[in-house]
Amino acid sequence: MSTTEFEARLRAALRPVEPPEDFTVRLERGLVELHELATDELDAWELRAMRDPRNWVRPAAAAVVGAGAGTALVVLRVRGGRRRRRAQASNVLDLAERTVRDLADEARRLLPGGD
C-alpha cells in the first residue's frame, strides 16, 4: 500500500459523520428519563435504612446517575442555544457571561422546585 493510498483511506475513515436529525431529541429524552428515575429513587430513600451500609448502593448509584444525566442534559441544552448567544453577544466576555447565565438557568430548572 502506497503512502498516498494510505492517506486517502485514513482521510475517508476520519470523515465527519452527521448524526440522525432526531438524535438530539432522543438523547435529551433519555437523559430526562434517567434524571427522573434517579430522582424518584432518591425520593423513595428511607433515612432509617441507611444505618446498614449494604443499603447505600442504590442511593449512591442513583445520585451518580442523576448527577451525570443532569449535567449532560444541562450541557446539551446550553450547547443547543450557542448560535443564538453568539448572535446576541457583543464581544467574547459578553458571550461567556451569557453562556454561564444559561448554564445556571438550566441547572436551576433541573433542581427540585426549580421549575
Exposure string over 26-55, b if 16+ CB within 10 A, otherwise e: eeeeebeebbeebbebeeeeeeeeeeeeee
In a domain, 11, yes or no: no
| Angle value at C-alpha 15, between 9 and 18, nearest 5 degrees | 150
pLDDT per residue as tens digits for the range 10-27: 888 888 888 888 888 999
In a domain, 17, yes or no: no
- Provide the domain count of the chain: 1
The whole-model pTM stands at 0.69
In a domain, 85, yes or no: yes
Cell of 85: 448567544
Given pLDDT bands bounded at 50, 70 and 90, which one contains residue 29? very high
Cell of 18: 452527521
**Percent of the chain clearing pLDDT 90 (strictly above):** 35
The answer to whether 62 touches 38, Cβ cutoff 8 Å, is yes
Domain range for 94 is 23-110
